[in-house]
Amino acid sequence: MSNVPAELKYTKSHEWVRDEGDGTVTVGITHHAQELLGDMVFIELPEVERELAAEEECAVVESVKAASDVYAPLAGVVTAANDAVVDAPELVNQDPYGDGWLWRMSADDMSGLIDAEAYQAIVDADG
C-alpha cells in the first residue's frame, strides 16, 4: 500500500495539497507518483507570482524513466517555489510529503480535491 497521509488532499493526477491555514497551500507529487517515476534527476517549478488555473501544466519532474508534467491542483498564485528540490531532485523520492514539496500557492477554493480514501482507491485501481 502506498503512503497516503489522511490529513492531505489529493488530485486524480497524483498531486497532494496541504492547507497551511493562512490562505496558502503546499503542493507536491504523491509517494505513488514518485514511486512510479523512479529516481528524480531534474525538476522545473513554476515562477513565484505566476497565476495558475486549476489543472494547468505548470511544472515538470524528470526521472531516469520519464518526464512528467505536474498540474496545478487549484487556481491561485504561486507564493513560493522549493529551490531545494531543483538543486537536489532526489528529495522528492526521499520525502515527497516533507522536504520534497514543490511549490506553495494562494488558494481560495479547495472543493475540487479528493480525500485520502478516494485517492487510495485510485492508487489501488492502478494496480
Provide block-wise average pLDDT over 10 residues at a time, the chain (127 residues): 86 96 96 95 98 96 95 97 98 97 93 95 88
The CATH architecture assigned to 9-126 reads Beta Barrel (2.40)
Contacts of 57 (CB under 8 A, 6+ apart): 69, 70, 71
Largest CA distance in the chain: 38
Phi, psi of 94 (to 5 degrees): -75, -35
pTM for this entry:
0.95
Contacts of 91 (CB under 8 A, 6+ apart): 40, 84, 85, 99, 100
